[in-house]
Structure 1
Amino acid sequence: MDDLQAHLKDLEERLFDPTVRGSRQMLVELLSAEFREIGSSGRLVDLEDVLTGLPADPENIASRTLGDFHALLLSDGIALVTYRATRASPGKPTVRTLRSSIWRLEADGKWRMIFHQGTLMR
Protein backbone atom coordinates (compact mmCIF):
# COMPACT_ATOMS: atom_id res chain seq x y z
CA MET A 1 0.00 0.00 0.00
CA ASP A 2 2.93 2.37 0.62
CA ASP A 3 3.92 2.14 -3.06
CA LEU A 4 0.36 2.88 -4.16
CA GLN A 5 0.09 5.82 -1.75
CA ALA A 6 3.35 7.29 -3.10
CA HIS A 7 2.19 6.75 -6.69
CA LEU A 8 -1.20 8.41 -6.12
CA LYS A 9 0.44 11.32 -4.31
CA ASP A 10 2.73 11.78 -7.31
CA LEU A 11 -0.29 11.78 -9.64
CA GLU A 12 -2.08 14.38 -7.50
CA GLU A 13 1.05 16.56 -7.46
CA ARG A 14 1.27 16.34 -11.25
CA LEU A 15 -2.15 17.96 -11.37
CA PHE A 16 -0.64 20.90 -9.43
CA ASP A 17 2.06 21.39 -12.11
CA PRO A 18 1.33 24.41 -14.35
CA THR A 19 2.68 22.52 -17.38
CA VAL A 20 0.23 19.66 -16.82
CA ARG A 21 -2.64 22.04 -16.02
CA GLY A 22 -1.98 23.82 -19.33
CA SER A 23 -1.90 20.66 -21.46
CA ARG A 24 -5.06 18.95 -22.66
CA GLN A 25 -3.06 15.82 -23.56
CA MET A 26 -1.39 15.57 -20.14
CA LEU A 27 -4.74 16.05 -18.39
CA VAL A 28 -6.29 13.22 -20.45
CA GLU A 29 -3.52 10.94 -19.17
CA LEU A 30 -4.54 11.67 -15.56
CA LEU A 31 -8.32 12.07 -15.70
CA SER A 32 -10.85 9.37 -16.55
CA ALA A 33 -13.29 9.87 -19.42
CA GLU A 34 -16.00 9.68 -16.73
CA PHE A 35 -14.35 12.35 -14.55
CA ARG A 36 -16.54 14.60 -12.40
CA GLU A 37 -15.52 17.30 -9.94
CA ILE A 38 -17.27 19.38 -7.33
CA GLY A 39 -14.98 22.38 -7.08
CA SER A 40 -14.38 24.52 -4.03
CA SER A 41 -16.75 27.00 -5.70
CA GLY A 42 -19.53 24.41 -5.49
CA ARG A 43 -19.66 24.07 -9.26
CA LEU A 44 -20.00 20.58 -10.82
CA VAL A 45 -17.75 20.01 -13.84
CA ASP A 46 -17.00 17.10 -16.14
CA LEU A 47 -13.93 16.12 -18.13
CA GLU A 48 -14.68 18.38 -21.09
CA ASP A 49 -15.19 21.36 -18.78
CA VAL A 50 -11.75 20.71 -17.26
CA LEU A 51 -10.05 20.14 -20.63
CA THR A 52 -11.51 23.39 -21.95
CA GLY A 53 -11.25 25.58 -18.86
CA LEU A 54 -8.17 24.51 -16.94
CA PRO A 55 -5.53 25.27 -19.60
CA ALA A 56 -6.84 28.86 -19.79
CA ASP A 57 -7.13 29.35 -16.01
CA PRO A 58 -5.00 32.34 -14.88
CA GLU A 59 -4.50 30.57 -11.51
CA ASN A 60 -2.28 27.98 -13.24
CA ILE A 61 0.72 30.11 -12.27
CA ALA A 62 -0.13 29.78 -8.57
CA SER A 63 2.11 27.76 -6.29
CA ARG A 64 0.29 24.68 -4.97
CA THR A 65 1.33 22.31 -2.21
CA LEU A 66 -0.31 19.37 -0.52
CA GLY A 67 0.00 17.89 2.96
CA ASP A 68 -1.58 15.34 5.26
CA PHE A 69 -1.90 12.98 2.30
CA HIS A 70 -3.66 9.69 2.92
CA ALA A 71 -4.73 6.92 0.53
CA LEU A 72 -7.24 4.18 1.25
CA LEU A 73 -7.82 1.23 -1.07
CA LEU A 74 -11.62 0.87 -1.28
CA SER A 75 -11.55 -2.24 -3.50
CA ASP A 76 -9.30 -3.74 -6.15
CA GLY A 77 -8.47 -0.89 -8.49
CA ILE A 78 -10.35 1.86 -6.60
CA ALA A 79 -8.64 4.22 -4.13
CA LEU A 80 -9.74 7.25 -2.15
CA VAL A 81 -7.16 9.93 -1.36
CA THR A 82 -7.59 12.87 0.99
CA TYR A 83 -5.28 15.78 1.71
CA ARG A 84 -4.97 19.47 2.49
CA ALA A 85 -3.96 21.80 -0.32
CA THR A 86 -2.60 25.33 -0.25
CA ARG A 87 -2.64 27.70 -3.24
CA ALA A 88 -0.53 30.85 -3.16
CA SER A 89 -0.88 33.44 -5.93
CA PRO A 90 1.10 36.68 -6.13
CA GLY A 91 -0.91 39.55 -4.68
CA LYS A 92 -3.79 37.33 -3.55
CA PRO A 93 -4.72 35.73 -0.24
CA THR A 94 -3.56 32.15 0.30
CA VAL A 95 -6.35 29.62 -0.29
CA ARG A 96 -6.52 26.44 1.80
CA THR A 97 -8.77 23.53 0.89
CA LEU A 98 -9.57 20.00 1.96
CA ARG A 99 -9.41 17.70 -1.06
CA SER A 100 -10.61 14.21 -1.85
CA SER A 101 -10.18 12.20 -5.02
CA ILE A 102 -11.22 8.78 -6.20
CA TRP A 103 -8.69 7.07 -8.46
CA ARG A 104 -9.43 4.02 -10.62
CA LEU A 105 -7.01 1.58 -12.20
CA GLU A 106 -8.21 1.55 -15.79
CA ALA A 107 -8.01 -1.18 -18.45
CA ASP A 108 -4.76 0.24 -19.88
CA GLY A 109 -3.05 -0.26 -16.49
CA LYS A 110 -2.98 3.46 -15.60
CA TRP A 111 -4.53 5.07 -12.54
CA ARG A 112 -6.86 7.90 -13.51
CA MET A 113 -8.90 10.23 -11.36
CA ILE A 114 -12.62 9.61 -11.69
CA PHE A 115 -13.88 12.07 -9.03
CA HIS A 116 -12.52 15.07 -7.14
CA GLN A 117 -13.92 17.46 -4.57
CA GLY A 118 -12.42 20.55 -2.98
CA THR A 119 -13.84 22.25 0.10
CA LEU A 120 -12.61 25.67 1.25
CA MET A 121 -11.19 25.79 4.77
CA ARG A 122 -12.24 28.80 6.82
Structure 2
Amino acid sequence: MNVSQSEFEEIRRLEEKLHLPEIRRSSEATENLLAEGFVEFGSSGTIYADRNELIIRLAAERTEAPSPPIAARDYAFRPISPDAVLVTYRSIRPATGDRAARHVLRSSIWQRIDGRWQMIFHQGTPTAADS
Protein backbone atom coordinates (compact mmCIF):
# COMPACT_ATOMS: atom_id res chain seq x y z
CA MET A 1 0.00 0.00 0.00
CA ASN A 2 1.36 3.43 -0.93
CA VAL A 3 1.01 6.70 0.95
CA SER A 4 -1.34 9.18 -0.73
CA GLN A 5 -1.22 12.98 -0.73
CA SER A 6 -4.32 13.05 1.50
CA GLU A 7 -2.51 10.81 3.99
CA PHE A 8 0.44 13.24 4.04
CA GLU A 9 -2.04 15.98 4.95
CA GLU A 10 -3.55 13.77 7.64
CA ILE A 11 -0.10 13.09 9.09
CA ARG A 12 0.66 16.82 9.09
CA ARG A 13 -2.60 17.49 10.95
CA LEU A 14 -1.79 14.76 13.49
CA GLU A 15 1.75 16.11 13.95
CA GLU A 16 0.44 19.60 14.65
CA LYS A 17 -2.11 18.24 17.14
CA LEU A 18 0.84 17.32 19.34
CA HIS A 19 1.75 21.03 19.52
CA LEU A 20 -1.58 21.87 21.18
CA PRO A 21 -1.69 22.07 25.00
CA GLU A 22 -5.22 20.64 25.12
CA ILE A 23 -4.08 17.54 23.21
CA ARG A 24 -0.86 17.13 25.20
CA ARG A 25 -2.81 17.28 28.47
CA SER A 26 -5.24 14.58 27.30
CA SER A 27 -3.81 11.14 28.02
CA GLU A 28 -6.37 9.54 25.71
CA ALA A 29 -5.58 11.84 22.79
CA THR A 30 -1.83 11.37 23.24
CA GLU A 31 -2.17 7.59 23.53
CA ASN A 32 -3.99 7.60 20.18
CA LEU A 33 -1.17 9.55 18.52
CA LEU A 34 1.90 7.79 19.98
CA ALA A 35 2.50 4.15 19.13
CA GLU A 36 3.56 1.50 21.62
CA GLY A 37 7.36 1.61 21.72
CA PHE A 38 7.45 5.35 20.87
CA VAL A 39 10.84 7.02 21.42
CA GLU A 40 11.71 10.73 21.42
CA PHE A 41 15.03 12.55 21.42
CA GLY A 42 13.81 15.84 22.85
CA SER A 43 15.15 19.25 21.88
CA SER A 44 16.37 19.50 25.49
CA GLY A 45 18.63 16.49 24.89
CA THR A 46 16.44 14.21 26.99
CA ILE A 47 15.61 10.75 25.64
CA TYR A 48 12.02 9.69 26.27
CA ALA A 49 11.86 5.93 25.77
CA ASP A 50 8.93 5.12 28.06
CA ARG A 51 5.73 6.05 26.21
CA ASN A 52 3.50 5.78 29.29
CA GLU A 53 5.81 7.96 31.39
CA LEU A 54 5.91 10.57 28.62
CA ILE A 55 2.11 10.59 28.38
CA ILE A 56 1.90 11.21 32.14
CA ARG A 57 4.47 14.04 31.87
CA LEU A 58 2.58 15.68 29.00
CA ALA A 59 -0.73 15.44 30.87
CA ALA A 60 0.89 17.24 33.82
CA GLU A 61 2.17 20.17 31.71
CA ARG A 62 0.79 23.47 32.85
CA THR A 63 1.16 26.96 31.48
CA GLU A 64 0.54 30.09 33.50
CA ALA A 65 -0.88 31.98 30.57
CA PRO A 66 -1.84 30.80 27.10
CA SER A 67 1.28 30.82 24.95
CA PRO A 68 1.21 31.85 21.32
CA PRO A 69 0.62 28.94 18.96
CA ILE A 70 3.64 27.14 17.56
CA ALA A 71 4.09 27.72 13.85
CA ALA A 72 5.27 24.86 11.66
CA ARG A 73 6.66 25.25 8.14
CA ASP A 74 8.94 23.73 5.52
CA TYR A 75 7.32 20.31 5.72
CA ALA A 76 8.81 17.42 3.75
CA PHE A 77 7.31 13.93 3.59
CA ARG A 78 9.44 10.94 2.60
CA PRO A 79 7.84 7.51 2.40
CA ILE A 80 10.30 5.00 3.88
CA SER A 81 8.09 1.95 3.41
CA PRO A 82 4.52 1.34 2.18
CA ASP A 83 3.28 2.01 5.75
CA ALA A 84 5.82 4.50 7.15
CA VAL A 85 6.64 8.14 6.49
CA LEU A 86 9.52 10.36 7.62
CA VAL A 87 8.28 13.89 8.28
CA THR A 88 10.68 16.81 8.64
CA TYR A 89 9.84 20.45 9.33
CA ARG A 90 10.74 23.56 11.33
CA SER A 91 8.73 24.71 14.33
CA ILE A 92 8.83 28.25 15.68
CA ARG A 93 7.62 29.27 19.11
CA PRO A 94 7.17 33.06 18.94
CA ALA A 95 9.01 35.36 21.32
CA THR A 96 7.06 36.29 24.46
CA GLY A 97 8.06 38.76 27.12
CA ASP A 98 11.74 38.18 27.85
CA ARG A 99 11.87 34.83 25.99
CA ALA A 100 13.35 34.82 22.49
CA ALA A 101 11.68 32.99 19.64
CA ARG A 102 12.64 29.30 19.57
CA HIS A 103 13.36 27.53 16.29
CA VAL A 104 13.55 23.72 16.23
CA LEU A 105 14.19 21.35 13.34
CA ARG A 106 11.92 18.36 13.82
CA SER A 107 11.73 14.87 12.39
CA SER A 108 9.11 12.22 13.06
CA ILE A 109 8.38 8.76 11.78
CA TRP A 110 4.71 7.91 11.40
CA GLN A 111 3.59 4.34 10.82
CA ARG A 112 0.23 3.03 9.70
CA ILE A 113 -0.75 0.59 12.47
CA ASP A 114 -4.06 -1.23 12.34
CA GLY A 115 -5.28 1.21 9.69
CA ARG A 116 -4.38 4.46 11.49
CA TRP A 117 -1.29 6.66 11.63
CA GLN A 118 0.73 6.76 14.84
CA MET A 119 4.08 8.36 15.62
CA ILE A 120 6.83 5.87 16.44
CA PHE A 121 9.80 8.30 16.68
CA HIS A 122 10.39 12.02 17.10
CA GLN A 123 13.47 14.22 17.37
CA GLY A 124 13.79 17.96 17.94
CA THR A 125 17.03 19.87 17.31
CA PRO A 126 17.25 23.55 18.30
CA THR A 127 18.59 25.76 15.53
CA ALA A 128 19.17 29.40 14.69
CA ALA A 129 16.38 31.35 13.05
CA ASP A 130 18.21 31.67 9.74
CA SER A 131 19.59 28.17 9.30
Q: Superposed, which structure 2 residues align to 1:40-119 within 5 Å? A: 40-46=43-49, 47-58=51-62, 61-62=66-67, 63-88=69-94, 90-91=96-97, 92-107=99-114, 109-119=115-125
Q: Which amino acid aligns with 1:90?
A: T
Counterpart CA distance in 2 for 1:18 and 1:93 is 20
**Structure 1 pair 83–59 and aligned structure 2 pair: CA distance change class (3 A):** farther
Residue 56 (structure 2) pairs with residue 38 (structure 1): no
**Structure 1 pair 106–96 and aligned structure 2 pair: CA distance change class (3 A):** same
TM-score normalised to structure 2 length:
0.85
Q: Give a deviation string over 1:71-99, Cα, whole Å, max 9, x none.
A: 11111111100000011363222111000
Counterpart CA distance in 1 for 2:100 and 2:6 is 35
Counterpart CA distance in 2 for 1:96 and 1:59 is 20
TM-score normalised to structure 1 length:
0.91
Residue 23 (structure 2) pairs with residue 16 (structure 1): no
Q: Which amino acid aligns with 2:59?
A: P
Q: Which amino acid aligns with 1:11?
A: L
Gaps of 5+ in 2: none
Determine helix, strand or coil for the equivalent of 1:3: helix
Length, aligned pairs only:
121
Question: Quick one: percent identity of the two aligned structures?
Answer: 34
**Structure (1 or 2) with the greater helix fraction:** 1
